[in-house]
Structures are given as structure tokens and as C-alpha cells.
């Protein structure tokens, strides 16, 4: 540890706005990632899967959520492609998908800190598909540098009536650009368990080889924009349009595939 003074967030005890995000990185087989990315969004060769568990104030109440991303490139810009954002607020699921293509789906997340102990579980359609338990090991230095993050969603609408290969709105990439400043970071020693679930197929499609990193991060957000990043090939994208719920996990008529 250096002697740098860490600036902790200014907030009242238990205030949601100061709730840190649990950032987890695990390693999978990089060859598993490429087949899941829509044509035009390219893999980087990175084996990392990024899971974020959070509680933030949305619509004047706490929203618990879990996000899953992988490294990807669109139009020469390195960022992350989002497979899904499971949240516990129904009101935010459908409008987010309609307006921005944000891959949200209903999920119950239990996430808390008690002293130096951190616990989180995520449950969808009756399956608890993710569990994390860890202990705070210390504070990480922050140098005050901004973190620039680019993220890719996809927005599209298949034709009314479901005609094969037809679109009301053909697939486009949504570019999410964010700038933030980490103000307090704590490292964790913990265990991530991914359990079998047809609705959240981590174990089938992105199986964990080992846990890379886990930490609590409280950030000050400075900038965020959501823009149309340009079209994808509508013919090549067609097989990727059928997903599990509002996520981007490949599915069949909105539910899990019968067999992977």
C-alpha cells in the first residue's frame, strides 16, 4: 500500500447511492466467446467474462441487478458486449429494451456486506445460477484517473407476424460510452459458483475455468451517452435474434433452447 490518501464517497450510512458495485472477473475458454457474438461484433481473444452485481437508485427506489459482459470490438473500438442485465424492477425492463435495446430481464439478486463479508446470489426462473461469497482483504490505490468504458448492445425488431428474415427495425448496434472516476476500491478473497440453469446458461456457454479478480468499486460518474452505433448485417444477424427473454443468450421463442 502506498501512502496515497483514498477519498471515500460522501454519503449517509446505508444510502443506496454509495452502495459499491461488486465486480467479478472469471476466465473461460476464449473459443466459447466468439460464437456468441453477433456477426460484425468481433472478439478480442480475451478469455475474460465480467460479472457486475449492483444496487443503484432507479425510479426513486433501489434496483438490484447483475450484468454479464465480454471484451469485444465494434467499428475498431474496443469495448464490451453485454449478454444480459438481470434486474428486479419490471418497470425498467421493457422500456429499456424498447428504447435502447438494453438486454434486461427479470432477476432476483441478494447482495449485501456485513463487516468484511460480502455475499451475493442471483435467481431467475427459480434457478439460483450464481453465488459469490468473499472477504475484504484491503483497499486498492486509486490514482484519480478516469476510466473510459465503451459497451455494445443490439436493438432490433422482427417483422409483425414473424415472417422469416423480415424486420420492422433491422439490427443496429447501440454504443454506450461512459466516463467515471473510481473513488474507493476494496479487494476481495472469495469464491464464485456458477450453477446449471437453462435460463442463464453460464455453465454451458461460458464455463468458468478460474476466478481472476473480485473487488468492490465505488465510482463517481462523470459522463454517459447512448447512441446509435450503426447497422449490422440483417441476414447474418437473423440467427441471433431469438434469445432467452430480454437477454442476448441464444434461445428459442423467448425461452431456453431444448439442447445446446
Q: Give the residue from 51, 49, 47 showing the smallest Cα distance to 29.
A: 47
Q: Is residue 94 part of a domain?
A: yes
Q: Tell me which DSSP letter residue 246 carries.
A: T
Q: Could you tell me the CATH number of the domain that includes residue 197? A: 2.40.400.10
Domain count for the chain: 1
- If one counts every other C-beta atom within 10 angstroms of the C-beta of residue 207, the result is 14
Q: Is residue 48 part of a domain?
A: yes
- If one counts every other C-beta atom within 10 angstroms of the C-beta of residue 45, the result is 10
Q: Is residue 245 part of a domain?
A: no
Q: Report whether pLDDT(17) > 60.
A: no
Q: Is residue 184 part of a domain?
A: yes
Q: At a CB cut-off of 8 Å and minimum separation 6, what does 214 contact?
A: 22, 23, 24, 25, 132, 134, 187, 188, 189, 190, 192
Three-class SS of residue 93?
helix
Q: Is residue 231 part of a domain?
A: no
158-201 pLDDT per residue, tens? 999 989 999 999 999 999 999 999 999 999 999 999 999 999 99
Kindly tell me the sign of the dihedral angle through the C-alpha atoms of 185, 191, 196, 202: positive
Q: Strand pairing of 117-124 and 127-140? A: antiparallel
pTM: 0.91
Bridge partner list, 151? 80, 176
Q: At a CB cut-off of 8 Å and minimum separation 6, what does 126 contact?
A: none
Bridge partner list, 224? 178
Please tell me the predicted confidence (pLDDT) of residue 16. Answer: 55
86-101 pLDDT per residue, tens? 999 988 999 999 999 9
State the residue for C-alpha cell 427459480.
Answer: 126
Q: Is residue 119 part of a domain?
A: yes
Q: Is residue 229 part of a domain?
A: no
Residue range(s) defining the domain that contains residue 103: 16-145+179-219
CA pair distance 232, 183, nearest whole angstrom: 37
Q: Is residue 258 part of a domain?
A: no
104-127 pLDDT per residue, tens? 999 999 999 999 999 999 999 999
Amino acid at each position: 500500500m502506498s501512502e496515497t490518501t483514498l477519498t471515500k464517497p460522501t454519503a449517509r450510512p446505508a444510502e443506496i447511492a454509495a452502495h459499491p458495485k461488486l465486480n467479478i472477473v472469471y476466465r473461460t475458454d476464449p473459443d466459447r466467446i466468439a460464437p456468441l457474438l453477433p456477426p460484425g461484433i468481433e472478439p478480442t481473444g480475451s478469455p475474460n467474462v465480467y460479472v457486475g452485481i449492483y444496487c443503484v437508485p432507479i425510479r426513486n427506489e433501489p434496483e438490484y441487478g447483475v450484468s454479464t459482459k465480454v471484451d469485444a470490438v465494434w467499428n475498431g473500438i474496443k469495448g464490451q458486449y453485454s449478454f444480459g442485465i438481470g434486474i428486479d424492477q419490471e418497470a425498467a425492463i421493457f422500456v429499456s429494451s424498447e428504447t435502447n435495446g438494453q438486454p434486461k430481464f427479470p432477476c432476483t439478486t441478494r447482495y449485501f456486506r456485513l463487516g468484511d463479508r460480502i455475499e451475493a446470489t442471483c435467481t431467475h426462473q427459480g434457478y439460483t445460477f450464481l453465488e459469490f461469497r468473499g472477504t475484504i482483504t484491503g483497499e486498492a490505490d486509486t490514482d484519480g484517473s478516469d476510466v473510459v468504458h465503451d459497451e455494445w448492445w443490439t436493438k432490433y425488431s422482427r417483422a409483425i407476424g414473424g415472417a422469416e428474415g423480415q424486420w420492422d427495425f433491422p439490427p443496429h448496434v447501440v454504443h454506450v460510452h461512459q466516463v467515471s472516476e473510481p473513488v474507493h476500491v476494496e479487494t476481495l478473497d472469495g469464491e464464485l459458483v456458477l450453477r446449471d440453469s437453462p435460463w442463464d446458461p453460464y455453465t454451458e456457454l461460458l464455463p468458468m475455468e478460474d476466478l481472476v479478480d473480485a473487488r468492490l468499486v465505488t465510482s463517481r460518474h462523470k459522463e454517459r451517452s447512448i447512441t446509435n452505433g450503426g447497422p449490422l448485417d440483417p441476414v447474418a444477424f437473423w440467427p441471433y435474434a431469438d434469445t432467452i427473454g430480454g437477454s442476448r443468450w441464444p434461445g428459442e421463442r423467448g425461452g431456453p433452447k431444448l439442447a445446446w
